[in-house]
Every structure is written in structure tokens, then in C-alpha cells.
A and B are shown apart, each in its own frame.
Chain A
Amino acid sequence: MAVMNMIQALNDALRLEMRRDPRVIVMGEDVGRLGGVFRVTVGLLDEFGPDRVIDTPLAEAGIIGTAIGMALYGLRPVAEIQFADFIYPAFDQIVNELAKYRYRSGGQYSCPLVIRTPSGGGIRGGHYHSQSPEAYFVHTAGLKVVIPSNPYDAKGLLLAAIRDEDPVIFFEPKRIYRAATGEVPEGDYTVPIGKARVEVEGKDVTLISYGAMMVECREAVQKAREKWGISVELIDLRTLLPLDVDTVIQSVQKTGRVVIVHEAPRTCGFAAELIALINEKAFLYLEAPPVRVTGFDTPFPYTLEHDYLPDTGRILKAIYETVHY
């Protein structure tokens, strides 16, 4: 197996699937000659030509609107929005059109479209290059929302997303695009959408996260063990919608305590939904109130971004306090 970073793994997934399925089209601003501003699509234009790797005009609503038409026709477009922060001009096309096509047409039409977009902070990008808007899309019936945390999952989930019959919003945590490396099979495999992964087994407290925050969570798991002998079970959700409720609930039933970490703002963030589900399904197993460690309810800042982002210390504090509640 080759060692890859996330960019290489995503590039590998796109190349494999474009070779396998002639319906797959990659489109977006700068995805062609430049290979994307993060180089995820590098080399694809040379191999597949300008009809399948399309540099579009700079217009997010146009990219998604036309990609919807392509998907309706029967192609498998993978549309790139350069930063998740730029997705809002296309919001109407995503939540009103893409998400609802199958339902509103009584099942006559479907839009198997993947929207890839780098999200999250920690790259000195200020608030227009750092947001985590996943909750908006999780709130929308008809979409699937995926956020990988490592190269193996990134490749397997992207292949699964392109083959999915439903639209998938695929958030790529850009802070770990190059930092996260690992062994990635060179051939074809998929990671199922809607299935979480227990990354570390533990018995005292369940720690739930996804995307780039898994880095700080892993560190917290190790330090909690070293400092206080606390055994943390760490879950990487991988897909937020549809959510793998079973894995979450089974873990909470085992540990009785839960800490949820995401860098998106707190109010109506994904942690809020998770806590509601845990309350509904495992309330009597809880030994302490579930705790959220999240970004603040402010716009994403530039200079103080590392204060905004949950760090290992905030996570450790939450773990300690919930265990000693």
C-alpha cells in the first residue's frame, strides 16, 4: 500500500472513478489546468480532456445549477466549490433544487451529484476561507453530508459518494489536506456512507467528532489516559447525514458519558442534534450531561483562529469534567 496524504487520496479516487465510469465529469473554478487551488484535481485534465475536466466561469450558482442539469441528464458530475465559504451563492440551487428533485418529482428524476468543497479553519484563511457550514446541509432533507478525517476514508468515501444515487455534499477538512497521511490501497474500495468508525475503544467516556478535529481528539484521548488514566472511546462520524446512530448510542450506553467536538459554531450545530438523539435514545444510561466543545458563535476570526478552534486543552477539560461530574 502506498502512503498518501488526503489530496493524493482524493485525486486517486477521482482518477480511478473517471477511468471506470465515463459518466463522471469534474467541474469547477480552476479544476482544469491548475488542478484546483489545493491540487486535488491535478493531472485529470491531461488524462481525460476538457469535456470531462471543465474549468467553469467563476459562478457558484452556475456551477451547481448546471451540474444539476448534467446529473438529471445522466452524467455523474463532481462539482468543486473552491472553499465551503463560497457555497452560499449556490445555496438555493443546493437546498431547494438539488436536495428536492427526487421528492418533488415523485421519484421521476434524481440528481446523483457530488459537491466537493474544502472546509474548516486553521490555515490562516480568515472567515471567508475557514467556515464549517455542514449544519445547514444536514438540516436539508434529500442531501447526504460526508466529512472524512484521513486519507483512507477520504478515498473510500469519495468513491462511494460518486456511486451514490443521491446528492452528496463532501466536505474536505483542508487543515489536514497534507498533514493527514496514511496507507491507502491503490485499487478500488469504498467506505460506506452512513457508517461511523470507532477509532479507539474505551470505557469511561465517549468522544465524538469528525473531520480535522479528529487530530485534537486523538491527542486528547492519549493525554487523558496518560494524565488521569481515563479510558476514552473515540468515534469518527465520517457521515453526518444519514447518521450512524447505532454506533453512537451503543458507545454512550457503554460509557454513560459523552463529549462532542466540532469546530463549527455551537448554536444549532451538529452537536446539538447529536445530544438530542442521545437524550431520546440513551437518557437513562447517562451519568452526566453531554458536553459540547465547539467553535464560538462569532464569525470565524483571522488572528485569533486558534482561540476560536477547539484545542486539545478544551477537549481534555470537557473530558475531565464530565468524568468527574
Chain B
Amino acid sequence: MDDAIFISPEVQEAAEVPLTVLREDGRSDPDLDPDLPKEFLLRMYRTMVLNRELDDRLFKLQRQGRIGFYLTCTGEEAAVIGSVAALNDEDWLFPSYRETGLPLWRGVPVRKFVAQQYGNAEDNVKGRQMPVHTSFREARIMSISSPVGTQIPQAVGFAWAAKIVGDPIVVLVYFGDGATSEGDFHTACNFAGVFKVPVVLFCRNNQYAISVPLKRQTAARSIAVKAVAYGFEGVRVDGNDVLAVYVATKRAVEKARSGGGPTLIEALTYRIGAHSTSDDPRRYRSEEEVQQWYAKDPIERFRRYLEWRGYWSELQQESLLEEVRDLINRTIEEVEKVPPPPVESLFDDVYARMPRHLQEQKEAYLAYLKEADRWRS
């Protein structure tokens, strides 16, 4: 008994202070700054701005009734772009549903993304999923599921398969703080740890799962500390600091690629907007709290850094906003002209080859449509 060690919550304290690179004044920590090339930094910045502008516009389109639903990433752009930028293009991404920045970073045309929000004939998921439930195989981005956390064990299995066949890829899986309450998170961490899988588990801790705050998701003092119980490293990072996210992810990715196994990254950030267009956040959080986080806007913070570096100016900012808004407006105008997916496609892709019973249902429905007016009127 004398030798026994009782593990107390206080040991978690060490994991509470987030890794930070960017200071409030726009300068960086010289020891931690990854010193990325100018063009790369500007590409990160442009993608964050594009993400923000696209979110703003699509949110408004939902309010106007032009698309059915939307989820913004506002306030969390640094977490998404800082992490994906640390991967190679060969690496795979398993998103949750607030990572619009992933296809934008990987070069998926904005038009293709917007088409998915409309579920029209240009939507590569053929109008089968709600807006934001994308999948882009060409960009190595997996299909998005509404149930929370289901993608985590799948990402672990995918990375595990790659390890078994000796393919040196890394898989990065995104989820929110709410997902860490799901069984899938724990079972995935357990498998990843036991089999030393090349996966990076990336939690965007944006403080709320719809209306339920972090303190109702966990009694732990950080999410990062949970990694310890599964036998691998966890790190808490300032999620509004794009360079800190980059540095932490890069380290986790390199470790995974060299056989070091998984890492849990907790990006401490805040969901500035509502959970979705169906949510009213004023019912469960104060305006003061939101304003405090507004002041920590990750895009503004990154911009100050770029200006300090001498890479960015007010003039460039104006021209970027004009370019991005023009692109979005043009895209929406074009996409709104695209018709819905052909009705026959409703029955495709359930199986590799359409079985008899579906063929019969399809034929019967198409026959009905030919005379539907008679029955509908």
C-alpha cells in the first residue's frame, strides 16, 4: 500500500497550457516559429479567408431559403488549415462536418463544394446528403457522417491498413469536443494505441457540442490528457494560432510516419457562430463570452503576423477580399442554374450492381412518374 501511487486529477495540470507560437502583437515565438516560406503562408491565409467568406455567404443563403442547411467554421479556421497544411497531399483526411477548409486547401474547385450544398446534378454525392456532408476522393477526403465520432475508428482502421501493407501515409481525423464523449472515440484511441497506428487524432475543442458546454463532456482538465490513458502522446495547442497548430500537427505527422504511432491533438478554440443553421446559441451562452473570443480571431491574428513579416498589406487585403467574394458570387450564380440530379440516380450506388428488387422499385417509380400528374392532381 505504501508503494501505491494514486493518480490525481492534478497531474493533468501539465497538459493545460496550450502550445502557442503567435503572440497577440503579431510577432512569433522565435524558438517555435516554423519559418514557413512566404508563398505557403499566403496560401494558408487565402484559404482561411476563403473559408470565412464562403461560410458567411452560405449561411446567408440558408437564411434566404436557397440551401437547406449549413454549418460554419467561423473562428476555427486556424485549427483546420494549420493542421491540414502540415500533411502531404498523399495523406488522408477523415473530417467531421466543420472542416470546409480541407477541400479548399486540397484544391477542390469551390464550384464543386458549392454544388454539394445545393445537392444538384454537379454534386458528386448526387444530392444524397445534407449540405456540408461532402466527400472528395480525388483530394483524399473521406465521406462525412452526421452521427458524431463514427469516423474516428474508421480513420484508425484506414491508417492501420496502410501500416500493414507498408504504405507510408498518415491519416488525420477531425472531431469536436462532443465526440470525445462517444464510445467510438475511446475504442478508436484504444485500437490506435495498441496497434501503434499512423494516425493523428485532431480534436477541435470549440467549447460546445450544440448547446452542451465542455464541462458537461468531461471532468478532465484537458482533452489532450486523455491520450495518456491509451498509451500515447497528447498535446493541447492554441487552436486560434495557425502556426502553433501547424507545428504540433507537423510533429505528430512526422512521428506517425516514422512508426511512432498516434498523437491526440486538442486545438483549443471557439465556435463563434451557431452549431448549425438550426441552432440559436443565444439561448445557452453569453454575448460577453462570444465577444471575448471575437477578439481572438485567428484570421486577424495571422494577418498581423504576415504584416509583421512584411508579407501583407491593407491593399492586398482589399484585393483578396474582392477576388474571393467575386469568385463566390460567380460560383453561386452558376451553380444555382444547375438542375437537380436525375431521378433515376436515386437507386444507384446502394450496391455495386443493382439487385433485382431495387431494379423493380426503380422501374415502377419511373413508370409512375410518367403518369404522376393524373394521381397528384
Q: Name A residues whose Cβ lies closer than 8 Å to a Cβ of B.
A: 25, 51-52, 56-57, 59, 61-62, 64-75, 77, 89, 92-93, 96-97, 101-110, 141-142, 144, 164-166, 194, 242-243, 245
Contact call B356/A75, Cβ cutoff below 8 A: no
- Can you list, as one digit per residue, whether each of B56-75 has a CB less than 8 Å from chain A (1) or not (0)? 00000000000000000000
Bound-state CA distance A68–B157 (Å) is 7
Bound-state CA distance A75–B167 (Å) is 12
Contact call A62/B187, Cβ cutoff below 8 A: yes
Q: Name which of A101, A105, A107 has the most chain B CB atoms within 10 A of its CB.
A: A105
Tell me, yes or no, whether B154 is within 8 Å of chain A by CB. Answer: yes
Residues in A whose Cβ lies below 8 Å from that of B372: none
CB distance from A104 to the nearest CB of B (A): 6
Bound-state CA distance A87–B352 (Å) is 25
Residues in B whose Cβ lies below 8 Å from that of A89: 183
| Chain B, interface residues (CB within 8 Å), range | 35 or more
Within 8 A of A (CB), among B176-200: 183-184, 187-188, 190-191, 194
- Can you list, as one digit per residue, whether each of B152-174 has a CB less than 8 Å from chain A (1) or not (0)? 11111111111011000000000
For B145, the closest partner residue in chain A by CB is: A97
Bound-state CA distance A243–B238 (Å) is 55
Residues in B whose Cβ lies below 8 Å from that of A70: 157-158, 160-161
CB distance from B152 to the nearest CB of A (A): 8
Cβ 8 A contact of A73, one of B124, B126, B157, B188: B157
For A164, the closest partner residue in chain B by CB is: B352
**Extra A-B contacts (6), CB below 8 Å, given A108-B135, A194-B356:** A93-B184, A97-B154, A101-B143, A103-B349, A104-B143, A106-B125
For A193, the closest partner residue in chain B by CB is: B355
Bound-state CA distance A166–B188 (Å) is 24
Tell me, yes or no, whether B303 is within 8 Å of chain A by CB. Answer: no
Contact call A166/B352, Cβ cutoff below 8 A: yes
Contact call A106/B126, Cβ cutoff below 8 A: yes
Q: Name which of A69, A70, A104, A106 has the most chain B CB atoms within 10 A of its CB.
A: A69
Bound-state CA distance A66–B161 (Å) is 9
CB distance from B127 to the nearest CB of A (A): 9
A selection of 11 A-B contacts at a CB cut-off of 8 Å is A51-B164, A52-B164, A57-B190, A65-B154, A65-B156, A101-B143, A102-B350, A105-B137, A106-B128, A108-B136, A109-B137
Contact call B188/A62, Cβ cutoff below 8 A: yes
Q: A56-B191, A103-B349, A194-B355 are in contact. Are A72 and B150 (CB under 8 A)?
A: no
Q: A242-B357, A245-B357 are in contact. Are A61 and B351 (CB under 8 A)?
A: no
For A73, the closest partner residue in chain B by CB is: B161
Contact call A142/B351, Cβ cutoff below 8 A: yes
For B183, the closest partner residue in chain A by CB is: A61
Q: Name which of B126, B153, B162 has the most chain A CB atoms within 10 A of its CB.
A: B153
Contact call B155/A107, Cβ cutoff below 8 A: no
Contact call A69/B153, Cβ cutoff below 8 A: yes
Residues in B whose Cβ lies below 8 Å from that of A72: 142, 154, 157-158
Tell me, yes or no, whether B147 is within 8 Å of chain A by CB. Answer: yes
Q: Name B residues whose Cβ lies closer than 8 Å to a Cβ of A.
A: 123-126, 128-129, 133, 135-137, 142-143, 145, 147, 150, 152-162, 164-165, 183-184, 187-188, 190-191, 194, 348-353, 355-357
Q: A57-B191, A59-B187, A75-B165 are in contact. Are A105 and B143 (CB under 8 A)?
A: yes
Residues in B whose Cβ lies below 8 Å from that of A52: 164
Bound-state CA distance A144–B352 (Å) is 11
Contact call B156/A69, Cβ cutoff below 8 A: yes
CB distance from A283 to the nearest CB of B (A): 17
Contact call A166/B351, Cβ cutoff below 8 A: yes
For B138, the closest partner residue in chain A by CB is: A108
Q: Name which of A66, A75, A102 has the most chain B CB atoms within 10 A of its CB.
A: A66
Bound-state CA distance A16–B157 (Å) is 24
Residues in B whose Cβ lies below 8 Å from that of A194: 355-356
Nearest first, the 4 A-B pairs at minimum CB distance are A69-B157, A65-B153, A66-B157, A62-B187
Residues in A whose Cβ lies below 8 Å from that of B155: 69
Contact call A165/B352, Cβ cutoff below 8 A: yes
For B159, the closest partner residue in chain A by CB is: A69
Cβ 8 A contact of B135, one of A97, A106, A165, A166: A106
Cβ 8 A contact of B162, one of A73, A97, A245: A73
Cβ 8 A contact of A96, one of B126, B145, B165, B191: B145
CB distance from B170 to the nearest CB of A (A): 13
Contact call A68/B187, Cβ cutoff below 8 A: no
For A244, the closest partner residue in chain B by CB is: B356
CB distance from A44 to the nearest CB of B (A): 15
Cβ 8 A contact of B124, one of A57, A97, A106, A144: A106
Residues in A whose Cβ lies below 8 Å from that of B348: 107
Bound-state CA distance A25–B155 (Å) is 17
Contact call B355/A105, Cβ cutoff below 8 A: no
Bound-state CA distance A59–B191 (Å) is 9
For B190, the closest partner residue in chain A by CB is: A57
Q: A68-B154, A74-B161, A242-B356 are in contact. Are A104 and B188 (CB under 8 A)?
A: no
CB distance from A216 to the nearest CB of B (A): 28
For B155, the closest partner residue in chain A by CB is: A69
Contact call A243/B357, Cβ cutoff below 8 A: yes
Q: A103-B349, A106-B126 are in contact. Are A93 and B153 (CB under 8 A)?
A: yes
